[in-house]
Amino acid sequence: MSGFQTPSLDWAALTPELVLLAGASFVLVVALFLSPQYRRPFAAVVAGFCFVGAGIAAGILFSMDESGTGIVADALRRDRLAELAQVLIAGSGFLAVLVSYEEPEGEDRIGEWYALLLSAAAGMAFFVAADNLITLFLGLEWFSISLYILCAISIERLPALEAGLKYLIVGSFSSAILLFGSAFVYGATGEIGFEEIARAAGEAERLFFVAGLAMILVGLAFKASAAPFHMWTPDVYQGAPTPVTAFMSGATKVAALVLTMRVLVVAFPGEEGLWTIALAVIVCLSLAWGNLAALVQTDVKRLLAYSSISHAGFLLMPVAIGTELGGRALLYYLMSYAAMSVGAFAVVAARERELGRPVGFPELGGLGWERPFLGVAMAVFMFGFIGLPPAGLFLGKFYVFSAAVDRGWTWLAIVGVVATVVSIYYYLGVVRAMYMQPGEMRLAPAGGSPPRDVALHTGVGLALLVTVGSFLVADPLIDIARDAVDLLAFPH
């Protein structure tokens, strides 16, 4: 009888996850022993370094890995797709650290705050590398649980508590569906590894296999906040502390979208005829629902939440298309989208701190003139979300539409165009509120102007840099996106 064998571990490949995880434990423990005034600087600096370190580690791995390898007994995949996603997640995390540095919320739980942020990012880094159904589920739960707690970290505030609870209940429900689907797929094929599933698909019990695929898709669409599985998004985005929302909107999108593409392309290439159509339907619903509901929002965080739903539609479009060009389009889109999304919520956070209340349109009044830098940044983000230059998202949309036209799905590009036209109204509504409100509607900051929040301004500046930079120097970024999807065997 042979003894229990542990798989050989490729420690180097796990560096990003390990750095983040180590940082989380370190912050959590050491912060306990520090006097309160040192906790925040300490935790934030450690978290910042960990995010930068994880990002650099993933970047180095990206430059080394020309081909993909399975690690930890093929439970995880070491390839450029995962590593690029890890860079983006670490980048969003770093921005979130900057944004949250002067956040008054969660003041007395600051160690936990940064530990959970790191742990959520570690979970996402693990999740995007998942190569079988078990690691997929583990990663999903890992980052989701961290985020549930982060949302409700200031339990004294009712909306935050509500957001946390709602996220927990709906999120657990979706996880259960995903797990159920995984079980169906395993039952039908007898395999859990993505490639093995694809190979065994031919002899699989058809009904359970397809049902499993559908349920996995539903679970992932929940995380990507695509309609009709988006119900939690507005409440959670609105109720959670704004820096947390910023992080979620950037990093969760990256993780969910990248993994959706990986699962579908690697594990279910044979069912391509089904999932392309299913996704195309989800795309249309997300675009329609997200944009139409955003039109009537008055709370800016809620508006951005609906915008995030509609962008889930734009992001799933290239996945549905299922071509190599589509894969490139997705990753390039994610690069600028993550930065813009974090940046936009950061501006909302700045205004919230200044006025000490939730930010609706009236609260934005005069922001553009009083805080020229934040105003211009927000305007660039809003114009960028519409798809106007000089934001990388302009080229992102161009790429997504190109992928659609290239596949012969011009109609899908036109659906995207119509959705964009609708979205103009509410994105410009934000610009209008910032610059064009009559004088009497402008608000004085509560208790005078607060001291300049350097960390947050740096964060917004970085987000702006990525947004505009990805437009001006598109070529290298597209090469990176191409390298990242090089190994996926797209069905078209």
Partner 1 sequence: MNTTVLILLPLAGALSIWLFPWRNSATASSFALLVALVELAYWVGTVLNFDFSRGGLHFETDVEWFSDLGASYKVGLYDYSLWLVGLTALVTVAAVAYGYWAGRERPGVYLSLFLFLEGATIGVFTAQDLLLFYVFWEAMLIPLYVLIGVWGGAGRLGATIKFVVYTMAGSLLMLVAVIALGLRNGTFDMEQLGTSANGWIFLGFAAAFAVKAPVWPFHGWLPDAYREAPPEVSAVLSGVISKAAAYGFIRIALPSFPDPLADWRVPVLVLASIGLVYGSLLAFRAPDVRGVIAYSSFAQMNLIVIGIFAANDSGLNGALLQMVNHGLISAALFLVAGAVERRAATGQLALLGGMARGRPLLATVLITTGVIALAVPGSSAFAAEFLVLNGIFDRGWGWAVVGAVAIVLAAMYMLRLISAVLHEDVGSAVPERALDLRPAEIAIIVPLVAVLLALSFWPAGITDRIFLAFGP
Q: Nearest 5 degrees, angle CA 26-CA 129-CA 10?
A: 70
Query: What is the closest distance, in whole angstroms, from the C-beta atom of residue 307 to partner 1 in the complex?
Result: 16
* C-beta of 71 vs 478, nearer to partner 1: 478
Q: Which region, judged by CB under 8 A, interacts with partner 1, from 19-27, 204-212, 262-270, 470-478?
A: 470-478
Pairwise CA distance, residues 304 & 378, whole Å: 12
8 Å CB contact between 213 and 164: no
Query: What is the closest distance, in whole angstroms, from the C-beta atom of residue 395 to partner 1 in the complex?
Result: 8
Positions in 340-369 near partner 1 (CB under 8 A): 369
Candidates 405, 443, 455, 487: give the one binding partner 1 (CB under 8 A). 405
Query: What is the closest distance, in whole angstroms, from the C-beta atom of residue 309 to partner 1 in the complex?
Result: 20
Query: What is the closest distance, in whole angstroms, from the C-beta atom of residue 408 to partner 1 in the complex?
Result: 10
Candidates 414, 441, 444, 465: give the one binding partner 1 (CB under 8 A). 414
* C-beta of 242 vs 297, nearer to partner 1: 297
Pairwise CA distance, residues 146 & 167, whole Å: 11
Burial class (CB in 10 A: 0-12, 13-18, 19+), 60: middle
Q: Tell whether residue 173 is a contact of partner 1 (CB under 8 A).
A: no
* C-beta of 12 vs 295, nearer to partner 1: 295
* C-beta of 12 vs 436, nearer to partner 1: 436
Query: What is the closest distance, in whole angstroms, from the C-beta atom of residue 366 to partner 1 in the complex?
Result: 12
* C-beta of 28 vs 422, nearer to partner 1: 422
Positions in 5-24 near partner 1 (CB under 8 A): none
8 Å CB contact between 404 and 410: yes
Q: To which residue do tokens 């619903």 refer?
A: 285
DSSP 7: P
* Contacts (Cβ under 8 Å, ≥6 apart) of 370: 442
Amino acid at 286: S
In the shown chain, the binding pattern of residues 425 to 464 toward partner 1, with x for contact by CB under 8 A and - for none, equals x--x--xx--xx----------------------------
CB crowding 30-42: b at 16 or more within 10 Å, else e: ebeeeeeeebbeb
* C-beta of 164 vs 375, nearer to partner 1: 375
Positions in 370-399 near partner 1 (CB under 8 A): 376, 383, 386-390, 394-395, 397-399
Provide the token pair at 364: 């934005």
Pairwise CA distance, residues 318 & 322, whole Å: 6
Q: Tell whether residue 417 is a contact of partner 1 (CB under 8 A).
A: yes
8 Å CB contact between 235 and 325: no
Q: To which residue do tokens 């509901």 refer?
A: 293
* C-beta of 353 vs 397, nearer to partner 1: 397
Pairwise CA distance, residues 418 & 346, whole Å: 28
8 Å CB contact between 394 and 471: yes
* C-beta of 174 vs 420, nearer to partner 1: 420
* C-beta of 155 vs 473, nearer to partner 1: 473
* C-beta of 42 vs 383, nearer to partner 1: 383
* C-beta of 315 vs 329, nearer to partner 1: 329
Candidates 15, 238, 420, 467: give the one binding partner 1 (CB under 8 A). 420
Candidates 54, 464, 478, 484: give the one binding partner 1 (CB under 8 A). 478
Helix (H, G, I), strand (E, B) or coil at 459: helix
Candidates 173, 410, 444, 446: give the one binding partner 1 (CB under 8 A). 410
8 Å CB contact between 242 and 330: no
Q: Nearest 5 degrees, angle CA 447-CA 451-CA 456?
A: 120
The size of the interface with partner 1 (CB under 8 A), counted in residues, is 35
Q: How far is CA 184 from CA 207, 220, 263, 454, in A?
A: 9, 16, 15, 51
Pairwise CA distance, residues 155 & 424, whole Å: 36
Query: What is the closest distance, in whole angstroms, from the C-beta atom of residue 106 to partner 1 in the complex?
Result: 36
Query: What is the closest distance, in whole angstroms, from the C-beta atom of residue 436 to partner 1 in the complex?
Result: 5
Direct distance between the N- and C-terminal alpha carbons of the chain, in angstroms, rounded to an integer: 47
Question: Where along the sequence are the contacts to partner 1 (CB under 8 A)?
Answer: 328, 369, 376, 383, 386-390, 394-395, 397-399, 401-402, 405-406, 410, 413-414, 417, 420-421, 424-425, 428, 431-432, 435-436, 474-475, 478, 482
